[in-house]
Amino acid sequence: MSTSNPSNIENNDVGILHEISEKKVPVPLSKTQRKIRKLKRDPKLFLADSKATKAMYRAWAKLGAFILVIIASLIVVAYYSVVASPRYVSQVQFVVKQASSGEVALAGLASFGATTPSMRDALILKEYIGSREMAQALNQRLALKAHYESEQWDWFSRLAKKSSSEELIAYFQDHLVVTHDELSEILQVEVQSYQADYSLQLAKVIMEISDEFINNLGEGMANQQLDYAQKDVDRAFKELNLQQKKLLNFQNKHELYSPEQKGSALLGVITKLETDIITLETEIKSLKAYLHDDNAEIVTKQYQVDALQAQLIEEKVHLTSDDSNSLNQINSAYQELKLNSELSVELYKSALASLEVVRGEAYKKLKYLLVVERPYLAEDAKYPRRLYSIVTWFVVLLLIYGVGRLVFSIIKEHQE
């Protein structure tokens, strides 16, 4: 029986340990490290063997295409719950009235389809609030485009960057609600934005611009009528001045105030001359009864008669003749000028009366915007209506899924 040397045994153990230390012994990997190494070597195999993929396969085997409805619904829920930016609403209500509309309520069937001036103005204002001009005015005063395009809001609901004016108007109209109550004739305006104070400013500016539009609409019609009436008065006044100047120049030219008065005086002179001639001729006949024709007294009276007859002829020529300087010709021209002047006076009076009537009617057509409810600062966001939108989208997806399954079944039956 041999005994081994303890020193040899110790040397062998050391040798064995040295060999073990020189060899590369694999270190066991963790579960995560093995998955990472598998992903690097073969990503497709990693995805195919993953639990999520296997779970999707199992779900697809059980639910089929309905899994797409569930995924889409989860996306919708995530969007409306986390991503969607809140929108605040500010509201204003007002009524359009005239100073004196003279509206008469219609009874019975006549009331159907009938519109009052206030209703027509309210409908015109309704169209104006949603118009391009309103959107541009709001953009100039409150930088509407910059607010809707801000990157603070979610990508799906905000206005696209560098949008055109048409896109801005369409976006503004989508975030604006204008309703008109035919019974009360109240116009209600709701405007949306992504900030409560900005919605309040929008509603206030819309109310101010609407008030300016209604005032300009009423004043514009009234001013047009007043301008026309005033021009008519000015035209009549100019015509009156022209006819009066013509009459005055005519009087100065002929150095008389009234041909009628002069004619009356001239007729009196002619009558007096004729009377004197008759008287003298009567006296001459009486003297000839007992005196000779060459008697001095008879001759003298005969000279007087001849002179009076010559004067009578001259005065008659002044009164009536074909000469333009005769009194009858002058009086005819004078009467025409006088008639034109009197007509101009009447036309001027009529124009002044019409102007006063138009002023009264213009006042009745003035329009006012009576505010029923002033804009307020919203405390809670009204849009989006998250639960309503989620349920609506889910119902729509179910309908799409049902229609798709029905179409697929019909196609499959035809193929078989």
pLDDT digits (tens, 9 = 90+) for 217-264: 777 777 777 888 888 888 888 988 888 888 778 767 766 666 666 666
Rounded distance between C-alpha atoms, residue 371 and residue 93, angstroms? 6
* Cα–Cα distance measured from residue 291 to residue 73, given in angstroms and rounded to the nearest whole number: 151
What is each CA distance from 167 to 131, 164, 170, 193, in whole angstroms?
A: 13, 5, 5, 16
pLDDT recorded at residue 194: 92
Residues 6+ away with beta carbon under 8 Å from 244: 341, 344
- Going by pLDDT thresholds of 50, 70 and 90, the confidence category of residue 63 is low
Residue-level pLDDT at 112: 46
Looking at residues 351-355, what average pLDDT do you find? 85
Whether the per-residue pLDDT at 415 is higher than 80: the answer is no
Q: How far apart are CA 161 and CA 219, in angstroms?
A: 40
**C-alpha dist (Å) from residue 182 to 93, 120, 122, 127, 258:** 14, 10, 10, 15, 69
User: Which one, of 40, 37, 378, lies nearest residue 197 by Cα?
Assistant: 378
Tokens (6 digits) for 169: 């108007």
pLDDT in the model for residue 91: 92
Q: What is the pLDDT of residue 343?
A: 87
Average pLDDT, the chain: 76
Higher-pLDDT residue of 315, 130:
130
| CA separation for the pair 203, 373 (Å, rounded) | 11
Residues 312 and 274 sit within 8 Å (Cβ to Cβ): yes
Can you give the pLDDT at residue 140? 92
Summarize pLDDT for 113-160 with one digit per residue, the tens: 556 777 888 888 999 999 999 999 999 999 999 999 988 888 888 888
In sign, the C-alpha dihedral spanning 239, 242, 247, 250 is negative
Q: What tokens were used for 232?
A: 């008519």
Q: Residue 259: its pLDDT value, please? A: 64
Q: Is the pLDDT of residue 96 over 90?
A: no
Query: In this structure, what are the phi and psi dihedrals at residue 372, rounded to the nearest 5 degrees?
Result: -90, -45
Among the listed residues 189, 142, 190, 196, the one whose alpha carbon sits nearest the alpha carbon of residue 377: 196
pLDDT class for 29, splitting at 50, 70, 90? Answer: low
What's residue 254's pLDDT?
63
pLDDT confidence bin for 56, thresholds 50/70/90: low
Task: Name the β-bridge partners of 180.
Answer: 187
What is the band of 40 on the pLDDT scale with cuts at 50, 70, 90? low
Q: Which of 205, 206, 228 is nearest to 126 (CA)?
A: 206
C-alpha distance from residue 3 to each of 8, 16, 155, 358, 369 (Å)? 11, 21, 89, 146, 125
Mean pLDDT, range 294-303, rounded to an integer: 78
Q: Phi first, then psi: what are they for 340, rounded to 5°?
A: -60, -40
pLDDT of residue 258: 63
Query: Which position has the higher pLDDT, 71 or 171?
Result: 171
Length of the chain: 416
